[in-house]
Amino acid sequence: MKTSRIALFAFAAIVGIGSVVGAGQAKAGSLDFLNHMNPQYTNCIASTRANIAPQYRDQRNVHDAIIDNCARRFPPFG
């Protein structure tokens, strides 16, 4: 029983250390993929948002509807 606890603790320590070391190598927050978006898709979102009354622009459901509509018409990364 004691050896299984020690093995479990050792495994948890290895996983914890590995995740900390692995996280340092990843580029967290890199938004480079946004530079490769479909220009028709980004223009659709920009023009649709520009034509909406200001009081509705910041509502979450309106924002989601704009994204869904433009994504159906033009693939975001296509």
- The string of pLDDT tens digits covering residues 18-71 is 565 555 555 567 767 677 889 999 999 999 999 999 899 889 999 999 999 999
Tokens of 65: 């509807």
- Domain map (residue ranges) of the chain: 2-73
| Cα 73 to the center of its chain, rounded Å | 21
CA distance 55 to 38: 28
Give the residue, 11 or 66, on which the prediction is more confident.
Answer: 66
Q: Please give the DSSP secondary-structure letter assigned to residue 26.
A: S
Q: Is the pLDDT of residue 5 over 70?
A: no
Question: What is the C-alpha to C-alpha distance for residues 11 and 27, in angstroms, rounded to an integer?
Answer: 26
Write phi, then psi, for 34 (nearest 5 degrees).
-70, -20
Q: What is the pLDDT of residue 67?
A: 93
Q: Is the pTM of this model over 0.75?
A: no
